[in-house]
Amino acid sequence: MNKKVLLQDLALKDYKETWDYQEQLFQNTLKLKIKNRREEAGLETPNHFLFVEHPHVFTLGKSGDLSNLLVDEKQLAEKGATFYKINRGGDITYHGPGQIVGYPILDLDNFFTDIHKYLRLLEEMVILTLAEYGLKAERSKGETGVWLDVGTPFARKICAMGVRASRWVTMHGFALNVNSDLGYFDLMIPCGIKDKAVTSLNVELGKAEVDIEEVKQKLLRYFEQLFEAEIIKQKTEV
Protein backbone atom coordinates (compact mmCIF):
# COMPACT_ATOMS: atom_id res chain seq x y z
CA MET A 1 0.00 0.00 0.00
CA ASN A 2 1.36 3.44 -0.92
CA LYS A 3 2.29 5.75 1.91
CA LYS A 4 0.46 9.08 1.97
CA VAL A 5 2.57 12.25 1.75
CA LEU A 6 0.91 15.63 2.29
CA LEU A 7 2.09 18.25 -0.22
CA GLN A 8 2.08 22.00 0.29
CA ASP A 9 3.45 24.50 -2.22
CA LEU A 10 4.47 27.60 -0.27
CA ALA A 11 5.39 29.59 -3.43
CA LEU A 12 7.89 32.40 -2.64
CA LYS A 13 8.49 32.47 1.11
CA ASP A 14 11.09 33.82 3.53
CA TYR A 15 13.73 31.26 4.50
CA LYS A 16 13.43 31.69 8.28
CA GLU A 17 9.62 31.48 8.22
CA THR A 18 9.82 28.29 6.20
CA TRP A 19 12.52 26.85 8.46
CA ASP A 20 10.31 27.54 11.50
CA TYR A 21 7.38 25.82 9.79
CA GLN A 22 9.53 22.82 8.88
CA GLU A 23 10.69 22.63 12.50
CA GLN A 24 7.08 22.71 13.69
CA LEU A 25 6.07 19.79 11.44
CA PHE A 26 9.29 17.94 12.35
CA GLN A 27 8.75 18.33 16.11
CA ASN A 28 5.08 17.34 15.86
CA THR A 29 6.08 14.06 14.22
CA LEU A 30 8.81 13.44 16.81
CA LYS A 31 6.31 14.00 19.64
CA LEU A 32 3.94 11.46 18.10
CA LYS A 33 6.75 8.92 17.81
CA ILE A 34 7.76 9.42 21.44
CA LYS A 35 4.14 9.09 22.55
CA ASN A 36 3.82 5.86 20.56
CA ARG A 37 6.94 4.48 22.16
CA ARG A 38 6.05 5.43 25.73
CA GLU A 39 2.34 4.70 25.66
CA GLU A 40 2.09 2.23 22.77
CA ALA A 41 -0.49 4.66 21.42
CA GLY A 42 -0.33 3.38 17.84
CA LEU A 43 -0.77 6.88 16.39
CA GLU A 44 -0.07 7.27 12.67
CA THR A 45 2.80 9.63 11.92
CA PRO A 46 2.30 12.04 9.01
CA ASN A 47 4.64 12.58 6.05
CA HIS A 48 4.99 16.04 4.52
CA PHE A 49 6.55 17.47 1.37
CA LEU A 50 7.00 21.24 1.03
CA PHE A 51 7.81 23.02 -2.23
CA VAL A 52 9.08 26.59 -1.90
CA GLU A 53 11.12 29.31 -3.57
CA HIS A 54 13.14 31.57 -1.29
CA PRO A 55 14.26 35.16 -1.68
CA HIS A 56 18.06 35.32 -2.05
CA VAL A 57 19.61 33.58 0.97
CA PHE A 58 22.80 31.74 1.91
CA THR A 59 22.69 28.95 4.49
CA LEU A 60 25.59 27.24 6.25
CA GLY A 61 25.27 23.67 7.52
CA LYS A 62 26.44 22.65 10.99
CA SER A 63 29.70 21.21 9.64
CA GLY A 64 30.27 24.07 7.20
CA ASP A 65 33.10 26.59 7.01
CA LEU A 66 32.08 30.25 7.14
CA SER A 67 35.10 31.16 5.01
CA ASN A 68 33.24 29.60 2.07
CA LEU A 69 31.01 32.69 2.08
CA LEU A 70 33.08 35.18 0.08
CA VAL A 71 31.23 38.40 1.01
CA ASP A 72 30.51 40.24 4.25
CA GLU A 73 27.21 41.30 5.77
CA LYS A 74 27.20 44.67 4.02
CA GLN A 75 27.83 43.12 0.60
CA LEU A 76 25.07 40.58 1.23
CA ALA A 77 22.65 43.40 2.01
CA GLU A 78 23.65 45.18 -1.20
CA LYS A 79 22.74 42.00 -3.10
CA GLY A 80 19.39 41.76 -1.29
CA ALA A 81 20.46 38.52 0.37
CA THR A 82 20.34 37.13 3.91
CA PHE A 83 22.44 34.52 5.73
CA TYR A 84 21.64 31.78 8.27
CA LYS A 85 23.58 29.10 10.10
CA ILE A 86 21.31 26.07 10.18
CA ASN A 87 21.06 22.51 11.54
CA ARG A 88 21.33 20.42 8.38
CA GLY A 89 24.37 18.54 7.13
CA GLY A 90 26.60 19.93 4.41
CA ASP A 91 28.39 23.23 3.88
CA ILE A 92 27.20 26.48 2.31
CA THR A 93 24.28 26.65 -0.08
CA TYR A 94 22.43 29.41 -1.93
CA HIS A 95 18.66 29.60 -2.43
CA GLY A 96 16.86 32.12 -4.58
CA PRO A 97 14.04 32.78 -7.04
CA GLY A 98 13.91 30.37 -9.98
CA GLN A 99 15.08 27.47 -7.84
CA ILE A 100 12.85 24.58 -6.75
CA VAL A 101 13.46 23.84 -3.09
CA GLY A 102 11.92 20.66 -1.72
CA TYR A 103 11.65 19.82 1.97
CA PRO A 104 10.40 16.27 2.60
CA ILE A 105 9.55 15.87 6.30
CA LEU A 106 9.14 12.12 6.33
CA ASP A 107 9.00 9.51 9.06
CA LEU A 108 11.35 7.01 7.47
CA ASP A 109 9.88 4.33 9.75
CA ASN A 110 6.99 4.52 7.28
CA PHE A 111 9.35 3.79 4.37
CA PHE A 112 12.79 2.36 5.26
CA THR A 113 15.30 3.19 7.97
CA ASP A 114 18.31 4.01 5.82
CA ILE A 115 19.42 7.63 5.48
CA HIS A 116 21.85 6.84 2.65
CA LYS A 117 19.08 5.16 0.66
CA TYR A 118 16.92 8.22 1.35
CA LEU A 119 19.53 10.57 -0.12
CA ARG A 120 20.17 8.30 -3.10
CA LEU A 121 16.43 8.18 -3.90
CA LEU A 122 16.17 11.97 -3.74
CA GLU A 123 19.10 12.17 -6.14
CA GLU A 124 17.48 9.58 -8.41
CA MET A 125 14.25 11.60 -8.47
CA VAL A 126 16.19 14.59 -9.80
CA ILE A 127 18.28 12.49 -12.22
CA LEU A 128 15.14 10.95 -13.77
CA THR A 129 13.45 14.35 -14.01
CA LEU A 130 16.43 15.90 -15.80
CA ALA A 131 16.58 12.95 -18.19
CA GLU A 132 13.16 14.05 -19.49
CA TYR A 133 14.87 17.25 -20.62
CA GLY A 134 17.62 15.31 -22.40
CA LEU A 135 20.26 15.83 -19.71
CA LYS A 136 22.49 13.03 -18.43
CA ALA A 137 22.70 13.90 -14.75
CA GLU A 138 24.75 11.81 -12.34
CA ARG A 139 26.03 11.40 -8.81
CA SER A 140 29.60 12.44 -8.04
CA LYS A 141 31.44 10.08 -5.70
CA GLY A 142 31.75 11.52 -2.21
CA GLU A 143 29.69 14.62 -3.12
CA THR A 144 25.99 14.62 -2.31
CA GLY A 145 23.71 16.14 -4.94
CA VAL A 146 23.27 15.90 -8.70
CA TRP A 147 25.88 16.83 -11.28
CA LEU A 148 26.51 17.04 -15.02
CA ASP A 149 29.69 15.91 -16.83
CA VAL A 150 31.05 14.14 -13.75
CA GLY A 151 34.73 13.23 -13.99
CA THR A 152 35.52 15.91 -16.57
CA PRO A 153 36.93 19.45 -16.28
CA PHE A 154 33.38 20.64 -17.07
CA ALA A 155 31.71 19.02 -14.04
CA ARG A 156 28.96 21.27 -12.68
CA LYS A 157 26.35 20.94 -9.98
CA ILE A 158 22.68 21.46 -10.76
CA CYS A 159 21.07 20.25 -7.53
CA ALA A 160 22.32 20.60 -3.95
CA MET A 161 21.17 18.44 -1.03
CA GLY A 162 21.45 18.59 2.74
CA VAL A 163 19.25 16.90 5.32
CA ARG A 164 18.78 16.51 9.03
CA ALA A 165 17.29 13.40 10.64
CA SER A 166 16.31 12.50 14.19
CA ARG A 167 14.55 9.26 15.20
CA TRP A 168 14.28 8.63 11.43
CA VAL A 169 12.31 11.86 10.85
CA THR A 170 13.82 14.04 8.09
CA MET A 171 13.86 17.75 7.36
CA HIS A 172 15.62 20.13 4.94
CA GLY A 173 16.13 18.55 1.50
CA PHE A 174 17.14 19.56 -2.03
CA ALA A 175 17.51 22.67 -4.18
CA LEU A 176 17.27 22.25 -7.96
CA ASN A 177 18.39 25.17 -10.12
CA VAL A 178 15.78 25.72 -12.82
CA ASN A 179 15.82 29.43 -13.70
CA SER A 180 18.41 30.52 -11.15
CA ASP A 181 20.54 33.68 -11.29
CA LEU A 182 23.92 31.94 -11.27
CA GLY A 183 25.74 35.17 -10.39
CA TYR A 184 24.84 34.61 -6.74
CA PHE A 185 26.90 31.41 -6.68
CA ASP A 186 30.00 33.54 -7.30
CA LEU A 187 29.56 34.93 -3.78
CA MET A 188 30.47 31.60 -2.19
CA ILE A 189 32.36 28.34 -2.66
CA PRO A 190 29.31 26.13 -3.33
CA CYS A 191 29.07 23.32 -0.77
CA GLY A 192 32.72 24.06 0.05
CA ILE A 193 33.87 22.43 -3.20
CA LYS A 194 36.44 24.52 -5.06
CA ASP A 195 37.04 24.50 -8.81
CA LYS A 196 33.63 23.09 -9.77
CA ALA A 197 30.94 25.11 -11.46
CA VAL A 198 27.22 25.42 -10.85
CA THR A 199 24.55 25.39 -13.53
CA SER A 200 20.81 25.74 -14.01
CA LEU A 201 18.30 23.87 -16.17
CA ASN A 202 17.46 26.89 -18.32
CA VAL A 203 21.17 27.47 -19.05
CA GLU A 204 21.68 23.82 -20.04
CA LEU A 205 18.68 23.96 -22.36
CA GLY A 206 19.62 27.35 -23.81
CA LYS A 207 16.29 28.84 -22.76
CA ALA A 208 15.46 32.11 -21.05
CA GLU A 209 13.05 30.27 -18.79
CA VAL A 210 11.82 26.73 -18.10
CA ASP A 211 8.28 26.02 -16.88
CA ILE A 212 8.95 25.55 -13.16
CA GLU A 213 5.53 24.03 -12.45
CA GLU A 214 6.15 21.37 -15.09
CA VAL A 215 9.45 20.45 -13.40
CA LYS A 216 7.70 20.18 -10.03
CA GLN A 217 5.13 17.76 -11.44
CA LYS A 218 7.86 15.55 -12.89
CA LEU A 219 9.70 15.52 -9.56
CA LEU A 220 6.53 14.53 -7.71
CA ARG A 221 5.79 11.73 -10.17
CA TYR A 222 9.21 10.19 -9.64
CA PHE A 223 9.02 10.77 -5.89
CA GLU A 224 5.80 8.74 -5.80
CA GLN A 225 7.38 5.94 -7.82
CA LEU A 226 10.66 5.75 -5.91
CA PHE A 227 9.19 6.08 -2.43
CA GLU A 228 6.04 4.06 -3.26
CA ALA A 229 4.06 7.04 -2.00
CA GLU A 230 0.82 8.83 -2.80
CA ILE A 231 1.06 12.63 -2.93
CA ILE A 232 -1.99 14.40 -1.48
CA LYS A 233 -2.09 18.11 -2.21
CA GLN A 234 -3.11 20.32 0.71
CA LYS A 235 -4.01 23.95 1.05
CA THR A 236 -1.10 26.07 2.22
CA GLU A 237 -1.33 26.71 5.95
CA VAL A 238 1.44 29.28 6.35
The predicted pLDDT at position 94 comes to 92
Residue 150 C-alpha from the chain's centroid: 20
Average pLDDT, the chain: 92
Task: Report the candidate in 74, 78, 56, 12 with the shortest Cα–Cα distance to residue 181.
Answer: 56
Q: Tell me which residue range forms the domain holding 84.
A: 3-233
Tally of domains in the chain: 1
User: Considering the domain boundaries, does residue 221 fall inside one?
Assistant: yes
Q: What is the CATH number of the domain that holds 220?
A: 3.30.930.10
Residue 50 C-alpha from the chain's centroid: 10
CA atoms of 19 and 60, how far apart (whole Å):
13
User: Considering the domain boundaries, does residue 10 fall inside one?
Assistant: yes
User: Considering the domain boundaries, does residue 238 fall inside one?
Assistant: no
User: Considering the domain boundaries, does residue 102 fall inside one?
Assistant: yes
The predicted pLDDT at position 136 comes to 97
Please determine, for residue 187, whether its predicted confidence score (pLDDT) is greater than 80: yes
pLDDT digits (tens, 9 = 90+) for 124-150: 999 999 999 999 999 998 888 999 999
Q: How far is CA 2 from CA 7, 97, 128, 181, 231, in A?
A: 15, 33, 20, 37, 9
Burial 1-35 (b: 16+ CB within 10 A, else e): eeeebebbbbeebebeebbebbeebbeebbebbee
User: Considering the domain boundaries, does residue 134 fall inside one?
Assistant: yes
Catalytic positions, please?
Answer: 191
The predicted pLDDT at position 60 comes to 86
Which phi and psi (to 5°) does residue 142 adopt? 80, 0
User: Considering the domain boundaries, does residue 63 fall inside one?
Assistant: yes
Please determine, for residue 185, whether its predicted confidence score (pLDDT) is greater than 60: yes
User: Considering the domain boundaries, does residue 36 fall inside one?
Assistant: yes
